[in-house]
């Protein structure tokens, strides 16, 4: 080809893209522990969420969409890999655990990167870092970069676990090399006070599991020494994380980007900034829902002001169902009133009942998606293959991920035929049926202390969700064929 023709083609390429629709930006807002009923559009009573409600008004509100599992690490593993977490035996990770995502396999961010996207993650990670022994004083790898993110700004594990520092592009932010960081989940490090010995220092008391290192008045799981100049201040999370997300969007406004904004809220310790204290009638848990809503509003405003709204797909959802008492004494149970965190559903975080995984899910893309409500049966495991379809990406190793793009875009209400619900036992959805496998073992102590019902039962459970959305009437014996058919199907799935 002559060089003149080549230059002409290069000049025309952007025009062709414009005519056929540019690749949309994708912003995934991932809230922590937000229940189905915790947002206004789904019936929240104790708190207002005007920004989330506005997002729902200009998008689709899904009433039967699920995260991969009823806890954080497994859900996030499934979201980013398109693979069920049982395959990886993924459980809730401690803050010094190695990276759980296989670096030699395909992931959602890697696929998007290959398709021309700039990819970024801001906020809670909780997928492990490093390959065994992490040295927090150097480059911490493997991590987000090796999973496919060009940029990362992280809470490395959870807000209630050490280390209590941010990592930007896999290096601790603001670390003084003269005060190096050590982390242990076994040995008591007493550089900082420890909650077990110094309850008088705590802003919120906790059960025994969270009585490790005290930082900023909150004791955490695990022990940390050093890193004084790098410590986070929990009350600043909404501003720091939203600020980094806004900066990422602004910096990449002119090319397609994927932002995975993984909020700390509404996980514990629930520590609203003073600006949000008493903004709900439910104490700290309601106040951090309002705080989360503010963060969402900031992202939407940023997209609007950069004129990106029409060409940005915003997905708003959560990593697992709600929990009132997860350890810290913040009176969430006492102050909840008539508000129902899981909406009309039974179960919570840690539970196999619907409340464990049926989470708020909104997709907004004003240039493409018609506003409405959809009851399509959807799982976050499918986002990898579905987004892959949208961007004509090279989807790899997404063993369990199905292309359900039409349902995610509201073009059909036909979603999954079968849907796996992972918790401390397994559930399978098919049409109106919900099957839960028998789990005769006793509920572990740390779960039973939390007033949650994980769904353990000595025999199989079967519910007709059309008639009984709250899963009260076990029909397993009444419909033995359905029970055995779904039991067989679930076993097949768990063994392939």
Residues that bind Ca ion (CB under 5 A): 32-33, 72, 319-320
The residues in 252-291 that bind ligand NG6, with binding defined as CB under 6 A, are: 267
CB of 282 to ligand NG6, least distance (A): 19
Question: In terms of CB distance, is 72 or 99 closer to Ca ion?
Answer: 72
Q: Which run of H or of E encompasses 31?
A: strand 25-31
Interacting residue with ligand NG6 among 51, 61, 71, 219 (CB under 6 A): 71
Q: How many CB atoms lie within 10 A of CB 89?
A: 8
Residue 83 binding ligand NG6, by CB under 6 A? no
Residue 242 touches ligand NG6, criterion: CB under 6 A = no
Q: Which is nearer to ligand NG6, 32 or 287 (CB)?
A: 32
Q: What is the per-residue binding string for ligand NG6 in 221-240, x denoting contact by CB under 6 A?
A: x-------------------
The number of residues that bind ligand NG6 (CB under 6 A) is 15
Q: Bridge-partner residues for 219, per DSSP?
A: 214
Q: What residues between 430 and 489 interact with ligand NG6 by CB under 6 A? A: 446
Give first-to-last CA distance, the chain, whole Å: 50
Q: Does 302 bind ligand NG6 (CB under 6 A)?
A: no
Pick from 139, 146, 138: nearest CA to 99: 146
- 95 vs 226 by CB, closer to ligand NG6: 95
Among 133-141, 143-151, 180-188, 320-328, which window interacts with ligand NG6 (CB under 6 A)?
320-328
Could you tell me the two tokens for 166? 């941010």
Nearest by Cα to 458 from 436, 480, 478: 436
Instruction: Name which of 350 and 456 has its Cβ closer to ligand NG6.
Output: 350
416 binds ligand NG6 (CB under 6 A): no
277: left (phi over 0), alpha (psi -120 to 50) or beta: beta
* Helix, coil or strand: residue 456: coil
* Residues pairing with 27 in the sheet: 259, 314
151-155, strands of its sheet edge to edge? 171-172, 167-168, 151-155, 118-124, 257-262, 25-31, 312-318, 361-364, 60-62, 372-374
H-assigned helices in 252-382: 284-305, 332-335, 354-357
Interaction partner, residue 164 (ligand NG6, Ca ion, none; CB < 5-8 Å by kind): none
Q: Which is nearer to Ca ion, 319 or 400 (CB)?
A: 319
- Using CB under 6 A as the binding rule, whether residue 126 contacts ligand NG6 is answered as yes
Residue 389 Cβ vs Ca ion, minimum distance, rounded to whole Å: 28
Beta bridge partners of 25: 312
Complex with ligand NG6: residue 38 or 326, whichever CB lies closer: 326
Q: Which residue is nearest to ligand NG6 (CB)?
A: 72
Nearer to Ca ion, 319 or 330 (CB): 319
259 vs 496: CA distance, rounded Å: 33
325 binds ligand NG6 (CB under 6 A): no
CA dihedral (402, 408, 412, 417) positive or negative: positive
349 strand-pairing partners: none
Does the protein bind ligand NG6 through residue 100 (CB under 6 A)? no
CB of 90 to ligand NG6, least distance (A): 11
How many CA atoms within 13 Å lie on the side-chain side of 146? 19
Query: Which residues in this chain contact ligand NG6 in the complex, by CB under 6 A?
Result: 32-33, 71-72, 92, 126, 158, 160, 209, 221, 267, 320, 326-327, 446
């Amino acid at each position: 080809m002559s060089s003149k023709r080549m230059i002409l083609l290069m000049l025309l390429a952007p025009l062709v893209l414009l005519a056929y629709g540019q690749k949309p930006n994708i912003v995934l807002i991932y809230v922590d522990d937000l229940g189905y009923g915790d947002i206004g559009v789904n019936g929240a009573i104790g708190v207002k969420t005007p920004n989330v409600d506005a997002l729902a008004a200009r998008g689709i509100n899904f009433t039967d969409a699920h995260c991969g599992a009823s806890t954080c690490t497994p859900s996030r593993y499934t979201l980013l890999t398109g693979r069920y977490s049982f395959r990886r035996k993924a459980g809730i990770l401690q803050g010094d655990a190695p990276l759980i995502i296989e670096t030699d396999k395909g992931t959602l961010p890697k696929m998007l990167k290959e398709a021309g996207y700039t990819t970024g993650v801001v906020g809670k990670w909780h997928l492990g870092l490093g390959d065994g022994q992490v040295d927090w004083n150097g480059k911490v790898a493997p991590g987000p970069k090796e999973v496919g993110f060009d940029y990362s700004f992280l809470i490395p594990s959870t807000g209630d676990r050490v280390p209590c520092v941010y990592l930007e592009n896999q290096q601790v932010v603001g670390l003084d090399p003269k005060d190096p960081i050590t982390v242990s989940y076994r040995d008591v490090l007493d550089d900082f006070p420890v909650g077990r010995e110094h309850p008088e220092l705590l802003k919120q008391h906790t059960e025994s599991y969270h009585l490790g290192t005290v930082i900023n008045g909150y004791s955490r799981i695990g022990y940390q020494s050093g890193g004084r100049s790098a410590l986070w201040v929990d009350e600043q999370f909404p501003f720091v994380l939203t600020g980094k997300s806004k900066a990422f969007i602004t910096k990449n406004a002119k090319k397609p980007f994927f932002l995975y904004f993984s909020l700390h809220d509404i996980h514990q310790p629930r520590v609203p900034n003073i600006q949000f204290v008493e903004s709900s009638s439910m104490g700290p848990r309601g106040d951090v829902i309002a705080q989360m809503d503010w963060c969402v509003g900031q992202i939407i405003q940023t997209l609007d002001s950069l004129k990106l709204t029409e060409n940005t797909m915003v997905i708003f959802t959560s990593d697992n169902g709600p929990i009132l008492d997860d350890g810290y004494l913040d009176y969430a149970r006492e102050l909840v009133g008539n508000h129902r965190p899981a909406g009309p559903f039974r179960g919570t975080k840690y539970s196999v009942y619907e409340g464990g995984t049926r989470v708020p899910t909104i997709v907004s893309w004003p240039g493409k998606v018609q506003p409405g409500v959809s009851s399509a049966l959807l799982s976050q495991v499918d986002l990898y293959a579905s987004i892959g379809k949208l961007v004509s990406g090279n989807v790899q190793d997404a063993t369990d991920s199905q292309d359900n793009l039409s349902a995610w875009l509201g073009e059909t209400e036909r979603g999954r035929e079968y849907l796996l619900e992972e918790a401390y036992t397994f559930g399978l959805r098919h049409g109106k049926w919900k099957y839960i496998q028998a789990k005769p073992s006793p509920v572990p102590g740390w779960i039973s202390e939390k007033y949650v019902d994980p769904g353990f039962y000595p025999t199989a459970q079967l519910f007709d969700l059309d008639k009984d959305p709250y899963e009260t009437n076990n029909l397993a014996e009444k419909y033995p064929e359905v029970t055995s058919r779904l039991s067989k199907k679930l076993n097949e799935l768990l063994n392939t």
